[in-house]
Chains A and B, each alone.
Chain A
């Protein structure tokens, strides 16, 4: 289950950080290529390799800066984020780029980030001159999005195709954990994206970069600075107050000194982000920089830690009432309940199974992916409903209540993006499952899926790095989608009836995830609907009869579909064309697009076997059979075979599709596309029967 591929992006960043000084030498001083606030006629002509016929708007320059400043009057720091952006609207489809939304964080006490100095101007060419139209104050709107978020919104006046728009603003904040992330990439191509951050040594951040586009500049310089404060009575807000070296006693003013790291990140000609099928989430691909607050440490003050090692994190988590503390306590209110549930169970395995079944049968998940418990486990037990964390932590608590050492595993779902192996960045995690050792092997349980077999997990959870949280340590474990094998089989027998006519029978054993999908679907629809869907997949000359579905409710068994075919093609016709794949052929290449920008990420590996036995219909002979073939995907990453043979009475065919890998880099895209294209072609071939005259 080991897969370290997810970490490669981070490595790229670390390597680049090491080369900082080299880079600087090579590029010399890089300057923002435009003057904000001054738009000349020639600025309307823009050329760049990332602008093409698909470009509706282009970000000419997007420049942000975060600076920490002392609040002289109340002995605290704030930071000021400034942003200047110039965009060219190429056509009407790019008008959306002229609607700007600025999010402002609102704290629990109602204090919020403040936006100031907003300036927004539209530049148009009129009579060979540049005409400026400014945004008016009354056209700026504020929206209370929710209790933690305000939006400032505006759109540019006098907008036309070809307009250049430019805006700038400042946001003042003392929510240090909310140091602005910087996205170098977005819906429109960006010609110049620059982010500077001046971070005094008192604030320690982990800086995380990701993406497939490289930096033009990525450097850090430092200088020493001195910050002055009045020393008057400070408002006691959070951790942002401190004592410094005192000045004169009568005025209480003081200074603190420290080193300031001056970071600069620049990307040039960043192409627009394009969503593609078979990617877990575009969040993993977007070029961005994020900041995670590690600690705040002022001179002569006790440091406050925000993020620590995995070890420290596991300790904190274990003590958190919304996490470890809730399962570590005895939870005696569960005693009678659990005793009842496991009644009759002898082995450890039976007990765990009983508790899991109980949870699955009686609890419903509200589909909110969470890592922390919402209220309390008692509430969850009473309400029979809750988030992912509520349900799986209750499962763990119940197991621990009967002295089974269940522990939580935290992870991030595929659509939520990767987690970080080195830094314990808790906001990346959005899911928790249970870990139990049974007969010396690890079993992982997710009780939120009502139709999931014991010991299995949804494919959405196979997203690489995860952490097993114990009382004193956090152990890295890996859920690799390569370890998931989806195996299905189909058997077809076609024979002549004594009374005349041709009859077929089909038995299909679905793969694990196909089974899960079908169970979920059947919970919402009727058997009649399924039968109808099967019937509609055949042409009218082949009638579907006697459809049965086995093991729909037996969760640890795959579903088996059986049905009969009344084949009415033979008898009259002189020539009959018959595809031995019946309704099972792959008719469309899943990789239709000719080009690909990001890796292909499949949910699981695959092994599908289709076997076909057919008695040659009475009165007919074979005129033509498809040829047998076998080919591989790359060297050994996949295989397709189609083996067919016939004698005087019978036709035998076996078709097998194997895909052994789930992640294909762009370089392999052409080969996987071609692989499927050949499969589609082969599976469309026909057997030709001729009437014996």
Chain B
């Protein structure tokens, strides 16, 4: 009882003052440039043991305008490991008067549909008051009971744009002998620590955080805003216990989940030996086996119980011919092992916007598993959920980041491949002609490699001809036109390439006025202007390196002479380089354009120079040539 009183008194100050949701209590500094204001957020984690905890969460948002409405809805994804025991919501008007309330049983409850899983036990509790008289305030409270823990929510009070925070707090209460790890990032402060006879309590608080405006090429908020990462040392999840104090130990936890799941049926073993025993080297074998996997299995996601972390065994995949990323990877690793090639499952984050992995703070930063075939100099990465990827290519989905290898000796954090400008090419040659009416017929041949071929790879493999045409019709920004021919050729490699051949006709591409013909000879590859920011706050980040080379040849109708020829432009600075040149020779316009950019970070102060650079390129890319009939 004493303990309870103590907790109450700790909360009284926070709760009672913030409970009044009158709009007038929001400081002006939090209203400017905000669509919504978080009035209060309290996350309270009560850890009972290494596998059990109760998490109470309360949050209130004042929505200021239509854009802020996306803060107003409530949704909670829960499953058997994280049961949702309580949920309720309240709606308040501008003066802070409560006008409506909702209980847990009145909220919608639907199966979690991620649009790609066949089955899962995740469910979503959701609700929305759909109120529209601004400003208004919603408050939601929920309680979740963790039955199995391997991670805790991160506390990052400011995690949206055009949004401000009046108060946020994060409290962890745990048994005195419980070992907790935390890491302060981007300038977060140490917690206030209090102890009593039975428990230790850590409290973090923040208040009055002003809105942030999104800026082009900025780093993600998670790299800028103060936050606290929190993690267990010893833990238990799904009946398996583990330790997260080191990557080595976390890898061991996975190893225990994967143990004994690599047994292949005899017929598959035989098939593998038949396939690779005659092949001369490791590389050939890996390619042959990866291709075998791609032809014989496909991706189906089933996430039930510990299935979120533990794969179906190799036998299951061998029989059903399908599995999710873990199951397919585990199967691939088993196949390679049968062929005498050492390989590991590698836990990773799949997706373009991947979180930063703090090496000194082991945590589950991941959502995906791939195969890693290690080698002193020639490590090969295999994406087992794809039927079309080249062996060894990680690309924007899993490249240039950290992965955790699950080895027999524990976990090892390693880097995946990174791609430079020489890897990411777009080399295009356009051979075209324009007739007297301004109609254009063009053959466009483009060689794409690395990251730059990903779109074409997917146009080739994932969609049909009609969708390709639709895509091109949208992308190639011509007034009216038709793609007469589309052909792709794939060149599989660790740096894969796609060759694209298009034949395009565009009626009236060149505009004709009386005796003149106006032509914009740079058909497709145009930079856009950047939005100007009066005051730039954040660093400028270029994520990728690439090089584009365009050679354009447009044959003109007979009897025209050049009235106006655009100027050549050469720009080279710390942001990259750009060169475009125009000439008319033998009745043919010739344009050569070379553009290169390197992965880099620049200070915010240099933004005006970047804007000027893009303006200059955008203008030169739209240069017009005027011809006049003799």
Interface residues of A (CB under 8 A from B): 53-56, 92-93, 95, 99, 139, 141, 143-147, 151, 153-155, 157-160, 274, 362-368, 382-385, 450, 523-524, 532, 536, 540, 575, 577, 587-589, 592-594, 624-627, 676-677, 680-681, 684-688
Contact = CB atoms under 8 A, between A and B. Distances in A.
A366 B119 contact: no
A27 B518 CA distance: 61
A450 B132 CA distance: 10
A685 B512 contact: yes
* Most chain A CB neighbours (cut-off 10 Å) among B108, B477, B564: B564
Given A143-B111, A627-B514, A686-B516, A366 B133 contact: no
Nearest to B473: A592
Interface stretch (B279-287, B317-325, B586-594): B317-325
| Dominant secondary structure at the B interface | mixed
Contacts of A592: 473, 480-481
A153 B116 CA distance: 13
Nearest to B128: A366
A624 B118 contact: no
Interface stretch (B292-300, B361-369, B372-380): B292-300
B66 interface: yes
B513 A626 contact: yes
B322 A155 contact: yes
B130 A368 contact: yes
A523 B66 contact: yes
A577 B518 contact: yes
20 contacts: A53-B465, A92-B461, A93-B463, A145-B111, A146-B109, A146-B110, A157-B321, A383-B131, A384-B99, A385-B131, A385-B132, A524-B67, A587-B479, A677-B507, A680-B479, A681-B511, A685-B511, A685-B512, A685-B513, A686-B518
A684 B118 CA distance: 51
Interface in B48-98: 65-67
A274 B477 contact: no
Interface in B504-531: 507-508, 511-516, 518, 529, 531
Closest CB pairs A-B (n = 7)? A364-B132, A366-B130, A141-B119, A589-B480, A681-B508, A54-B464, A684-B511
B626 interface: yes
B462 interface: yes
Contacts of B481: 592
Q: Output the residue of A524, A540, A593, A681 with the most chain B CB within 10 A.
A: A681
A384 B131 contact: yes
Contacts of A93: 461-464
B387 A92 contact: yes
A464 to B, nearest CB: 29
Contacts of B322: 155, 157, 159
Contacts of A154: 118
Contacts of B511: 681, 684-686
A108 to B, nearest CB: 16
Contacts of B477: 588
Given A385-B133, A536-B529, A155 B300 contact: yes
B133 A593 contact: no
Chain B CB within 10 A, most for which of A367, A577, A676: A577
Given A364-B133, A383-B99, A681-B508, A160 B479 contact: no
A141 B118 contact: yes
A383 B387 CA distance: 53
B514 A540 contact: no
A147 B108 CA distance: 9
B470 interface: yes
Interface of B: 65-67, 99-100, 108-111, 118-119, 128-133, 295-296, 298, 300, 302, 319-322, 387-388, 438, 461-466, 469-470, 473, 477-482, 507-508, 511-516, 518, 529, 531, 563-564, 615, 619, 624, 626
Nearest to A536: B529
A364 B131 contact: yes
A677 B480 contact: yes
A693 to B, nearest CB: 15
A218 to B, nearest CB: 30
B106 to A, nearest CB: 12
B358 to A, nearest CB: 37
A95 B294 CA distance: 13
A381 to B, nearest CB: 12
Contacts of A384: 99, 131, 133
B615 A624 contact: no
A54 B387 contact: no
Contacts of B529: 536
A95 B298 contact: yes
A261 B519 CA distance: 69
Nearest to A627: B514
A626 B512 CA distance: 9
Nearest to A274: B466
A363 to B, nearest CB: 8
A46 B479 CA distance: 40
A537 to B, nearest CB: 12
A489 to B, nearest CB: 24
A202 B507 CA distance: 63
A107 B181 CA distance: 50
Contacts of B387: 92
Contact of A524 (B65, B463, B466): B65
A595 B495 CA distance: 38
Contacts of A157: 319-322
Given A92-B298, A523-B66, 8 more contacts: A274-B466, A365-B132, A382-B99, A383-B131, A384-B131, A523-B65, A588-B478, A686-B511
A361 to B, nearest CB: 9
Given A155-B300, A157-B319, A577 B626 contact: yes
B93 to A, nearest CB: 8
Contacts of B321: 157-160
A146 B108 contact: yes
Contacts of A624: 513-516
Nearest to A154: B118
Contacts of B319: 157-158
Contacts of A160: 295-296, 321
A230 B514 CA distance: 92
Contacts of B479: 587-589, 677, 680-681, 684
B118 A56 contact: no
A648 to B, nearest CB: 19
Contacts of A684: 479, 508, 511, 518
B514 A680 contact: no
A367 to B, nearest CB: 7
Nearest to A362: B133
B94 to A, nearest CB: 11
Nearest to A53: B465
Nearest to B463: A93
Contacts of B626: 575, 577
A153 B462 CA distance: 24
A313 to B, nearest CB: 29
B68 to A, nearest CB: 10
A474 B580 CA distance: 70
A367 B516 contact: no
A383 B133 CA distance: 10
A686 B513 contact: yes
A147 B118 CA distance: 20
Nearest to A686: B513
A577 B438 CA distance: 17
Contacts of B302: 141
Nearest to A141: B119
Among B111, B387, B531, residue most surrounded by chain A Cβ atoms (within 10 Å)? B111
B296 to A, nearest CB: 7
B138 to A, nearest CB: 12
A524 B99 CA distance: 25
A274 B302 CA distance: 30
Contacts of A625: 513-514
Contacts of A141: 118-119, 302
Nearest to B320: A157
B112 to A, nearest CB: 10
Contacts of B619: 540
